[in-house]
């Protein structure tokens, strides 16, 4: 289940189950979104992206869903594996000029054996 830690919310799932990580973004004008995975001591790793003209995009074992009405983004991981344990961040681009990526607070995914 979900719990809020000192800084990062944590999602614990059983190995083999599906994981759903949620993100609320801030700006309705954002038109590009990315999910990143960050393992301990490493830089963020690109997982999957989606543009605002789409509401779903699938990759290998991952699916991103975008709900522009409520400014919500989710990352679904199928058949979660121990190697999926990491912190997951969503990022949005705020504007079309001098774009910079704004990151959400992150969710720690913990995969239980």
Partner 1 sequence: NAGVMQNPRHLVRRRGQEARLRCSPMKGHSHVYWYRQLPEEGLKFMVYLQKENIIDESGMPKERFSAEFPKEGPSILRIQQVVRGDSAAYFCASSPRQGSEAFFGQGTRLTVV
Chain residues that interact with partner 1, rule: CB under 8 A: 5-8, 31-32, 34, 36, 42-46, 49, 89, 93, 96, 98-106
- The encoded tokens of residue 43 equal 């830089």
Of 59, 64, 113, 110, nearest to 87 by C-alpha is 110
Q: Which residues contact 97 (CB under 8 A, 6 or more apart)?
A: none
Q: Which of 5, 8, 7, 19 is nearest to 83 (CA)?
A: 19
Nearest CB to partner 1, comparing residues 19 and 30: 30
Q: Nearest approach, Cβ of 84 to partner 1 (angstroms)? A: 18
Measured from the CB of residue 46, what is the shortest distance to partner 1 in angstroms?
A: 6
Q: CB of 96: closest distance to partner 1 in angstroms?
A: 8
């Amino acid at each position: 289940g979900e719990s809020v830690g000192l800084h990062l919310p944590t999602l614990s799932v059983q190995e083999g189950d599906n994981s759903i990580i949620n993100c609320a973004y801030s700006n309705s004008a954002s038109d590009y979104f990315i999910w990143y995975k960050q393992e301990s001591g490493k830089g963020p790793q690109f997982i999957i992206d989606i543009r605002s003209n789409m509401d779903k995009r699938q990759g290998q074992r991952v699916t991103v869903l975008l709900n522009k009405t409520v400014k919500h983004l989710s990352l679904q991981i199928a058949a979660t594996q121990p190697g999926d344990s990491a912190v997951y961040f969503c990022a949005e681009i705020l504007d079309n000029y001098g774009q910079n990526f704004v990151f959400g607070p992150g969710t720690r995914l913990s995969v239980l054996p």
